[in-house]
Structure 1
Amino acid sequence: MTTREDDFITSVEDDLAEGRLTAASRTLAGLSPVDVIDVLERLGRRDRAVLYRLLPKDVALEVFEGLDPVLQGELVHALQDDEVARLFMDLDPDDRVPLLDELPAKVAHRLLRGLPQHERDMTSAVLGYPQRSIGRRMSPEYATTSPGTTVGDTLQRIRLRLDDAETIYTVPVVDHSRRLVGVVSLRDVLRASPGDTIESVMNEPFAVLATADAELAARECADRKLLALPVTDNESRLVGILTVDDALSILEEAESEDAARSGGAEPLRRPYLATPITAVVRARVVWLLALAVGASLTVQVLGVFEETLERMVVLSLFVPLLIGTGGNTGNQAATTITRALALDDVRPRDVLRVLGREVRVGLLLGTLLGALGLAVVGLLYGTDIGLVVGLTLVAVCTLAASVGGVMPIVARKLRVDPAVFSNPFITTFIDATGLIVYFLIARAVLGI
């Protein structure tokens, strides 16, 4: 965002705060829909509804479509019934479904009932698929052609669907039973002669089942660099299409969710400034309580080795260094493998290969850090203490990397989000086990 656009946004916020609605309306006219969305995401629920009503009708729908479903739901509650019905009617079926998920059942039912039969049928079809499946995110509005249709007739079909088809750049090819038999790009259609049949220019299709996981389907679309990915049922009948922009939105949501859970919090599912304080607290408190319970293991370990600490107080100086290094090593491994799982570079069957690699990585890291620890600590506190710290770093880094690499794979095998098993829990686990390793090494080396 440029400085000029940022000044516009600040001006709108100031006008709204002072009740200068006419001035705010004039300022809005100088903003693009994307910048209007930025402003709305920074406002509270009441001010957001007030500002939205100041938008011209031709801009309002585009802005509404760009908002997160949670914010759309809040706006629906604030607007009048006729405004809501008009907005809902103008949305595409795949954009209606996330909004319906955010609304009370009675409101959702009333909005669906107000749609024309054709629109209601398409929306209901998308709603019928499981949560988190690609069927819930696909568009049922698309242009198709058939193998025996000529290029000229196909172009005519495409022209008839210019206003309502989700995309025209990739056209699925279906037979008389609507089974997917190929795909053809608009470029190839335009390049061919009008009398050529589609069969002569179409390509082999790649499709996903409507019940497939949305993130995996979106990843396939992105990895294969497809403008659109056909979605089929179990009998290979075409039921929808996933466009690349929707695929990227799904991947962005997944990245945000993984990032939040890796940091020990639940995803907010809305822009930060538009999230109530209570919602932020709820997103964090459960994880903090869970981690606090896990941290009690560390206290128990310290209690068990209390006598060792009393006899060699200097050992307590290095506790933060050792458990911090172990936690960071485990987090690095977990983040790397979680990302590799998301990209399908690693699969659950690769668990032994990952374990072998991470053992070697951890051992090499531990050796480098342990050698440094031995030299520095040995110089300051004596060779025996330096040896304890050095050996502990080798052991803790090896253990942390191994556990951090394997736990996300175990989570995937158990059909649990790998991010949940990564950083917070690994840090807690390594804190406890690292201390046990540390004090056992200290007892063996120092003879206490």
Structure 2
Amino acid sequence: MNQSVGQREVENRILKLLTEGDLKQLGSVIQDVPADDIVLIIERLGAKQQAVVFRLLHKDEALDVFEALDPLVQSDLVRGLRDGEVAEIFEGLDPDDRVWLLDELPATLAPKLLHGLSERERRLTSVVLGYPQDSVGRRMTPEYVTTRMDYTVADTMARLRDRIDDAETIYMLPVLDDARHIAGVVSLRDLIAAEPDAIIASIMSEAQSVEATEDAEHAARKLTEAGFVAIPVVDRERRLVGLLTFDDAMRIIEHEESEDSARQGGVEPLRRPYFATPIMQLVRSRVVWLLVLAVGATLTVQVLDVFEGTLAEVTVLALFVPLLIGTGGNTGNQAATTVTRALALGDVKARDIARVLGREARVGAMLGLLLGTLGFLIAGFVYSWQIGAVIGLTLVAICTVAATIGGIMPLVARWVKVDPAVFSNPFISTFVDASGLIIYFLIARAILGL
């Protein structure tokens, strides 16, 4: 998110006052800053500075700011606040937001915070905590308003007014039968438009729902693609247990896509804003991947060593090595990114591996023909037509292999229950580098008679 000039000036002033320890002036400055800007500023501060700034906020604004922070930043902030402050904030959170925070806190701190909740809030939070870590049940809200098929619109509106302060959303109401099974849904818009004595069964719509143990990302995408404001979460008997709201769905998707993009780039996800991440954590998020890729890159070195004689006889071949392995790596990464995205959207399943292999092989071959033709013409004109033939055929082969491997690697990862992003770009690049060089030198030997 881009910072405005005014926001940067405020941030610089806050940092200056923090450094000088002028808390009285700092408190005065903070009171005039909108909550959204305070969130951005806090996420760019160190843990100790975050706690100082947060304590200077008004009580009402503090909860709004806290709820808008990333869960890991919330976790850092909790450790910097006094027990009484933490208990008050924790009580004011929605149950699903509490669970986001609890998932990031040390296990020893969670029971203490739960014990300090009121009986009602502890019960609601325990419902959400009872579901698996990556399930939609873990991200749903148990605070909602329902109606029944035989209720009138007037009855439902009265029920809504009585419970409006307890519900996280009022724009979509689940309609239940006598056994608490989902019978349909009714929107606030339909309620307002209907006659007061109309029966809910006559205006409700068919309900789409997700099971509480379903993967949270899959459920979130189902909600956003359908354009719902919320979607009912049910148990195996289709009894209502909660709602997944649109804002929580977007939060889930943002979290998952941040992880995927990080791993595709060869780093572990930070899961917190950049400036709020300690230097050593930045180092740890990168060093393991660099070591793994460095070990993998020794394959490329070994291949070059095996074909050292070939390079010595035709030194011009060395000039094209960066071009060929770079093109192969990019082709594989493009295929992996496309298929990983299709997996996330549900367009492709792990069982579709044969179909994906065939499609990506054809795509790779076509890309190879286009690039290979260009490579043949340029290399042939500048060096010789034999060299041009080597480059052209190598590009066809490398692009075909890279696209095929890149396309099926995420499916293999899903099949063995590993994050597809982990298997994609870094490992594909390493594999294609080595295999591409082997293809290159074998074609060169065959055409040049080496």
Question: Do the aligned partners of 1:13 and 1:39 also contact (CA within 8 Å) in 2?
Answer: no
Is 1:241–2:252 an aligned residue pair? no
SS at match of 1:106: coil
Q: 2:177 aligns with which of 175, 178, 188?
A: 175
1:271 to 262, 266, 273: 273
Alignment of 1:146 with 2:148, yes or no, is: yes
Q: Residue 312 of structure 2 is aligned with which of 302, 305, 310?
A: 310
CA distance in 1, matches of 2:16, 2:246: 38
Which residue in the other structure is 2:139 paired with? 137
Structure 1 unaligned blocks of 5 or more: none
Q: For residue 297 of structure 1, what is the aligned residue in structure 2?
A: 299
Is 1:423 aligned to 2:425, yes or no? yes
Q: 2:258 aligns with which of 250, 256, 259?
A: 256
Give me the identity figure in percent: 60
Once residues 108 and 435 of structure 2 are traced to their aligned partners in structure 1, the CA distance between those partners, rounded to angstroms, is: 52
| In structure 1, C-alpha distance between the alignment counterparts of 2:200 and 2:245, rounded to whole Å | 22
Shift of 1:167: 0.4
1:64 aligns with 2:66: yes
**Equivalent residues in 2 for 1:14-33, closer than 5 Å:** 14-33=16-35
Counterpart residue number, 2:209: 207
The equivalent of 2:102 in structure 1 is: 100
1:369 maps to 371
What is the CA deviation profile of residues 361-388 of structure 1, one whole-angstrom value per residue up to 9, with x for unaligned ones?
Answer: 1112111111111111112221111111
Q: Deviations over 1:322-345 (max 9, x none)?
A: 000100111111111111111122
Amino acid at match of 1:407: M
Task: Tell me the distance in 2 between the aligned counterparts of 1:27 and 1:447.
Answer: 77
- Which segments of 5 or more consecutive residues in structure 2 lack a partner in the other structure? none
1:321 aligned residue (320, 323, 338): 323
Residues 75-94 of structure 1 aligned to structure 2 (within 5 Å): 75-94=77-96
Distance 1:244 1:375 in 2: 54
| Count of equivalent residues | 448
* Matched AA of 1:171: L
Q: Structure 2 residue aligned with 1:394, among 393, 396, 404?
A: 396
* 1:8/1:30 contact within 8 Å kept: no
Q: Which residue type is aligned with residue 388 of structure 2? A: G
Name the SS of the counterpart of 1:387 in structure 2: helix
In structure 2, what is the Cα distance between the partners aligned to 1:132 and 1:405? 25
Alignment correspondent of 1:340: 342
Q: Is the Cα–Cα contact under 8 Å of residues 9 and 35 in structure 1 kept in the other structure?
A: no
AA in 1 matched with 2:277: T
Stretch moving more, 209-218 or 297-306: 297-306
Corresponding residue for residue 446 of structure 1: 448
Taking structure 1 as the reference length, the TM-score comes to 0.98
- Could you give the per-residue CA deviations for residues 94-147 of structure 1, whole angstroms, max 9, x where no partner exists? 011121122223321111111111111111111111001001100000000110
The alignment yields a C-alpha RMSD, in angstroms, of 1.2
The CA deviation at 1:296 is: 1.0
User: Which shows bigger deviation, 370-379 or 56-65?
Assistant: 370-379
Shift of 1:310: 1.9
Using the alignment, how far apart are the partners of 2:348 and 2:34 within structure 1?
A: 42
Provide the C-alpha distance between the structure 1 equivalents of 2:34 and 2:332, rounded to a whole number of angstroms: 45
Deviations 1:146-184 (A, max 9, x none): 101111010011111211201000000112221111110
**Which 4+ stretches in 1 moved above 6 angstroms?**
none
Tell me the equivalent position of 2:353.
351
2:164 is aligned with 1:162 = yes
In 1, distance between residues paired with 2:94 and 2:65?
14
Distance 1:18 1:225 in 2: 49
Counterpart of 1:414 in structure 2 is 416
Task: Give the Cα separation in 1 of the matches to 2:320 and 2:430.
Answer: 17
Shift of 1:24: 1.7
Provide the rounded CA distance (Å) in 1 between the counterparts of 2:389 and 2:26. Answer: 68
Name which of structure 1's ranges 242-251 and 356-365 shifts more when overlaid on structure 2. 356-365
Q: d(CA) in 1 for partners of 2:134 and 2:84?
A: 31
